[in-house]
Amino acid sequence: MASYGLYTYIQANKRRSIALLIGLFFLVYLLVYAGALVGEALTIDAPPDVLMRRALLGALYAAPWATLGTALWILIAYKFHQAMIDAVTGGRELTRNEAPRVYNLLENLCISRGITMPKLKVIEDDNLNAFATGMNEKQYAITVTSGLINALDDAEIESVLGHELTHIRNGDVRLLVVAVIIAGVISFVAELVSGCWFRADSAGAAAAAAAIARAPVLRCSSRLP
């Protein structure tokens, strides 16, 4: 019987990450087709089969651009996701001189496990929190809050750092970043759709307001001889 252990889990995470990235392209194609179908339905009055056929042709025409846009989205997220996270959280890199205690704890853990040491970052926050990010050995980083550093002793901090290193080693962090990329695409499309509906509702409200504003004038003019 096949054994299931750490390396099986790591390989499974790699397969899931690849499957999610491939699925992202199909998700974008589906969203493009759905948008084309809605556009056709709002543009022409035709039977459903005609609308679906026209929407499919439109989606096929837009497929290369959708593929390019999705690939660009993935590339940007791959290259700059850590910078985006730091910009949102206010994280900054810690050096050995700034935090020798925490830096040495992380370095010793990496040496004992024979893995490349990730960057150590800190967020100036009183809450006790820590998380790992990155897609490869050059990008991996562990971020801790200043509150966690001040509140925990060496053994406790070492446990937290070891926990985050496990997420890196198992590939959980890579899988999480891929999931965030997909969530970002869905959120972006939702924002576009909601923006279109808002503009449509605003246009309808403006037309209704204009009609109401003109109504008293029309009534007054009807009384003139």
C-alpha span between 26 and 53 (Å, rounded): 19
Contact 144, 160 (CB under 8 A): yes
Active site (annotated) includes residue 191: no
To which H or E segment does residue 115 belong? none
3-state secondary structure 85-131: HHHHHCCEECCCCCCHHHHHHHHHHHHHHCCCCCEEEEECCCCCCEE
Angle among Cα 166, 105, 135 to the nearest 5 degrees reads 40
Partnered with residue 144 across adjacent β-strands are: 122, 130
Catalytic position from the list 93, 124, 137, 164: 164
Structure tokens at 202: 């605003």
Q: Please give the DSSP secondary-structure letter assigned to residue 225.
A: -
Relative to beta strand 141-145, strand 130-133 is: antiparallel
DSSP result, 67-90: HHHHHHHHHHHHHHHHHHHHHHHT
Catalytic residues: 164
